[in-house]
Amino acid sequence: MSKPRVSKNVFASTSGCIAITLFTLAMPARATTNYVQNGSFSTTSGPGQIDYDGQTLADWTNTDWNGTQVGYNFLFSSTDFDNGTGVGGDSGNVQLWGPGNGSNNGLGPSPDGGNFVADDGAYEASDLTQQISGLTPGLQYELSFLWGGAQQEGFNGQTTEQWEVTLGSQTEYTQTLTDPSNGFTGWEYVTLDFIPTVSNPLLSFFAIGTPVTPSEPPFVLLDGVNLEQAPEPGTFVLIGVGLLGVPFVRRMIRKPR
C-alpha cells in the first residue's frame, strides 16, 4: 500500500503557525502606562498666555503643568493660532504665521490634534514643568512628543528652534530646526531616553531659539507628551531567538521519516 500524500501547503501552514507561536511567546508584555498627565493639553480652562497676570498654568490655561510668571509661553487651540485674532497675552494678542493670516506654510494642529503649546525661545523664555511620580529609579524610560518650529505673526526673518528637555538630573536636546521667514518646520516626532535616579523627578521643557532678540520671535511647539517604561533588554533577545527558530522548525517538519 502506498503512503498517503501530504500537501506541501499543510507543511507551510503548520510551520507558519509554529513560527507565529514562537514569535508571540518571545514577546513578553510591555507596560504602557503614560506617567505624564494631560500630555495632549486637552484639559484646559481656555487658550492664552501661560502664567498671564501671575497666575499659574493650572489656574489660567491648563491643568497638571506649571510655568513661571515671566514666560512668554502660550496655549493655542486647534483654531486660534492663525485666525487673525490669536490669544491674549501681557503684551497684546499673539498668533503664529499660518494659512489663516497670509502665510501658506502648512501650519496646523499636530497629529495629536486639539490644543498645543508654543513657547518663545528667545524672549522671556521659561520652563514648562510637571512633577512626575511612580517611576522606578534605575530603569529606562522613553519620553516621546510632537514638536516643531514656527514664528509669531507680524515679524520676519529666518529663525531656529530646539527643545531642552530635563527629567530629574538628566538633560537631553532635540535637533535644531531651521525655519524660513514666516514659515513652519512641520511637526516632528521624537523619542528621548531617560534613566531617573528618583521616583518623582521634575519634567521640564525649555525652548531655545534664535535670533535672540524680540524682533524675530522663534516659537517652539509641543504636543502629545508621553512617558513610558522602555522595553526590557531581554525582550529583543527573545524576539531574535523566536525568529531564529523559524528555519529550524521548517527543517524539522520537512525531514523525511
Confidence band of 39 (pLDDT split at 50, 70, 90): very high
Same domain, 137 and 185: yes
Q: pLDDT digits over 214-245, tens only? A: 667 899 999 999 999 998 765 444 444 444 55
In a domain, 37, yes or no: no
| Structure-model confidence comparison of residues 210 and 69, the more confident one | 210
Same domain, 223 and 239: no
Q: Could you list the residue range(s) of the whole structural domain that residue 194 is in?
A: 48-230
Same domain, 130 and 226: yes
Q: How many domains does the chain have?
A: 2
Q: The cell 517538519 sits on which residue?
A: 253
Beta-bridge partner residues of 229: 141
How wide is the angle at C-alpha 130 spanned by C-alphas 127 and 135, nearest 5°? Answer: 130
* Phi–psi pair at 18, nearest 5 degrees: -65, -40
- Mean predicted confidence (pLDDT) in 99-110: 96
As to burial, measured by CB atoms within 10 angstroms (0-12 exposed, 13-18 middle, 19+ buried), residue 77 is middle
pTM score of the predicted model: 0.78
| Structure-model confidence comparison of residues 188 and 234, the more confident one | 188
DSSP labels, 123-181: SS--EEEEE--S--TTS-EEEEEEEEEEEBTT--S-EEEEEEEEETTEEEEPPPEEE-T
* Phi–psi pair at 212, nearest 5 degrees: -85, 65
